[in-house]
Structure 1
Amino acid sequence: MRLNENTMLLGKKVVLVPYTSEHVPRYHEWMKSEELQRLTASEPLTLEQEYAMQCSWREDEDKCTFIVLDAEKCRAQPCPTEESCMVGDVNLFLTDLEDPSLGEIEVMIAEPSCRGQGFGTEAALLMMSYGVTKLGLTKFEAKIGQENEPSIRMFQKLHFKPVAVSSIFQEVTLTLAVSEPERQWLLEQTSHVEEKPYRDELAETSGHGQPFWGCPG
């Protein structure tokens, strides 16, 4: 969606940035993985199709997506490219026409070496906080493959509760209702997060290095 196209969220472990054309080649390489295709219920796309998908996700008002960057890599010297810092993505789908306050959340840490380090947890927290404070969401839903036990455990640690199991799709549905105590807990968990402007045109004129990690233009 257009709402977050100039939004960057800086956490301790991860940085969330809008999904731009700069990120497509690496994303495309990730999605050649049969494991990721299975975990995300995705079909492989051509590079041209992936660029078209990136454009549609930017325009669709019922999808909010951020690319997840490794914050430590981002701040390294010499200045890295965003593509080299990518570890995954996090998405919100606002597709329930009867309940606009519900968002389905997906988190993918595509880089195997970056799993189990808390990147997915912080990315989910940042996205949930964004959904609550910017999109007016009060309920979240996550659909996880039954074999993906690490993701199921992660969402349970984020206070999600299993509510259904689909034998047809081999997935577990977990939900979280954001009561006032849950909202306060979520805001406390993300109180360290900085929101800064993100402008891709600055990256294009400065050789891809983004201003937030202190690289010269």
Structure 2
Amino acid sequence: MRVNQNTMLLGQKVILVPYTTEHVPRYHEWMKSEELQRLTASEPLTLEQEYAMQHSWREDSDKCTFIVLDAEKWQAQPDSAEENCMVGDVNLFLTDLQDPTLGEIEVMIAGMTTLSLNKFEAKIGQGNEPSICMFKKLHFEQVAMNSVFQEVTLRLLVSEPERQWLLQQTSHVEEKQYRDRNWGSREANSW
């Protein structure tokens, strides 16, 4: 999504950066895992398809994708490529054209201030208990179960108390401009 193409979120333990072509080879290697495919309800893609998907996610107006970097590793090895510090990804999908305040999320982040979201949904495979438990700890409630797709839908309605809780939980996160290696070095954009 273009709204986050130049956004880096700096946390204490993780750094979120836009999903760029630099990240594709490592991401592609992850997605060869049958377990990850099962947990994310994904099909294996060729490397070329993965590059096309990355481009689509970057350009589409209904997706917001970040790569999660291990902050300690990234800061300890300033010359290391970002792909060596990758530990995951975070996705937000704007799925309801009738309700622009609703976003389907895979991992909780503080995205509501920029995107004006006040509802988050997570669709998780019924057998993925670790993810279901994690979202329930983040105050999500189960609102549906789809037996055809073998998934549950969990929702978080962001009331003012929930909004304040989320802001408190993410108060340490700092937003910075992100530039990939083609735009400048990490040192030039350092804090």
Normalising by structure 1, we get a TM-score of 0.83
- Tell me which of 125, 139, 146 is aligned to 1:145: 125
Question: 1:33: Cα distance to partner?
Answer: 0.8
Q: What residue in structure 1 maps to residue 36 of structure 2?
A: 36
Deviations 1:60-106 (A, max 9, x none): 00000000111111111363210000011000100211211100001
Q: What residue in structure 2 maps to residue 189 of structure 1?
A: 169
Q: CA separation of 1:204/1:174 partners in 2, compared to 1, >3 Å: closer, same or farther?
A: same
Q: What residue in structure 2 maps to residue 110 of structure 1?
A: none
Q: CA separation of 1:214/1:173 partners in 2, compared to 1, >3 Å: closer, same or farther?
A: same
Report if the CA contact (8 A) 1:82-1:210 is conserved.
no
Question: 1:213: Cα distance to partner?
Answer: 8.6
CA RMSD between the two structures: 1.7
- Tell me which of 123, 128, 152 is aligned to 1:172: 152
Q: What residue in structure 2 maps to residue 95 of structure 1?
A: 95
Q: What residue in structure 2 maps to residue 74 of structure 1?
A: 74
The 3-state SS of whatever aligns with 1:195 is strand
- Which structure has greater helix proportion? 1
Question: 1:191: Cα distance to partner?
Answer: 0.6
Deviations 1:143-175 (A, max 9, x none): 111111111111111100111222221111100
Q: CA separation of 1:211/1:151 partners in 2, compared to 1, >3 Å: closer, same or farther?
A: farther
Q: CA separation of 1:5/1:78 partners in 2, compared to 1, >3 Å: closer, same or farther?
A: closer
Gaps of 5+ in 1: 108-123
Question: 1:42: Cα distance to partner?
Answer: 1.0
Q: What residue in structure 2 maps to residue 13 of structure 1?
A: 13
Cα distance in structure 1, aligned partners of 2:97 and 2:183: 40
- Pairing of 1:36-55 with structure 2 (within 5 A): 36-55=36-55
Question: 1:214: Cα distance to partner?
Answer: 5.3
Report if the CA contact (8 A) 1:143-1:172 is conserved.
yes
Gaps of 5+ in 2: none
Cα distance in structure 2, aligned partners of 1:176 and 1:138: 8
Report if the CA contact (8 A) 1:74-1:213 is conserved.
no
Question: 1:205: Cα distance to partner?
Answer: 6.6
Deviations 1:4-45 (A, max 9, x none): 111000111110000000000000101111111111111111
Pairs aligned (count): 191
Report if the CA contact (8 A) 1:24-1:54 is conserved.
yes
Cα distance in structure 2, aligned partners of 1:205 and 1:93: 27
